[in-house]
Amino acid sequence: MQTAKPYRESRSAKYPESVHIIIVKDGKGRYNPMSASWVMFTSIEPAMIAISVGFERYTYELIEKQGEFVISIPSETMAREVDCFGSNSGRDLDKLKELGTATEPAAVIDNVLLSDASANYECRVTASLKTGDHMIFAAEIVASHINAEAIQRLFVLGSKQYGGVKFDQD
Ligand SMILES: Cc1cc2nc3c(=O)[nH]c(=O)nc-3n(C[C@H](O)[C@H](O)[C@H](O)COP(=O)(O)O)c2cc1C
């Protein structure tokens, strides 16, 4: 039996939910990370992915300007990063510097990869679609990287609760 609930209250039924970190370069030369759950692969050949970003986010402003970003899959050790990157804006804080998060240069685009993440995807925007208060950006994955050491990726289990889930590397 189902009970009617407003959308805002029923959204928690979707947990556990995957979480990602979207990184975009800003005009000050900083790489700004933002936590994001609303992400999905959309094509195998060419490799494509879509993300949904709120209009008020600094990340939205930056993607509109840069047209490219990295999507990082946080490993189980990165709950602190997801929390900080999802509750502070890069307009006010250099988030990577604040936590001392390890990075390394991306291979194709002007960006960084998160060294301890389970995987990192370098992406170039190909299309966008306004959906209510968010913009969906579709992007081609131009390079992908995987961390053989970090085999547990992070999931959001509930409000501010995070846990690792093992994935199959075959
Ligand atoms: C677990 C989690 C998932 C989130 N998912 C999204 C998302 O998919 N899209 C979005 O626009 N904001 C999402 N947010 C909110 C942004 O991460 C948050 O507003 C962030 O502070 C924006 O940073 P920015 O202003 O530097 O872009 C999420 C936050 C958390 C904690």
4 Cα: distance to centroid of ligand 1 (angstroms): 27
Residue 44 is part of which domain span? 17-166
- Distance in angstroms (rounded) separating the CA atoms of residues 76 and 49: 22
Residues 6+ apart with CB under 8 A from 28: none
Which pLDDT value is given to residue 168? 66
In a domain, 11, yes or no: no
- Distance in angstroms (rounded) separating the CA atoms of residues 120 and 122: 7
Query: Which tokens sit at 141?
Result: 């994955």
Task: Look up the CATH number of the domain holding residue 77.
Answer: 2.30.110.10
**What counts of helices (H) and strands (E) characterise the chain?**
4, 12
Task: Report the predicted TM-score, pTM, of the whole model to 2 decimal places.
Answer: 0.96
User: pLDDT confidence of 117, banded at 50, 70, 90?
Assistant: very high
Residue 67: pLDDT over 90: yes
| Closest residue to atom 7 of ligand 1, CA basis | 36
- Distance in angstroms (rounded) separating the CA atoms of residues 21 and 46: 22
| Closest residue to atom 16 of ligand 1, CA basis | 86
User: pLDDT confidence of 160, banded at 50, 70, 90?
Assistant: confident
Query: Which tokens sit at 125?
Result: 């925007």
User: pLDDT confidence of 98, banded at 50, 70, 90?
Assistant: very high
What domain count does the chain have? 1
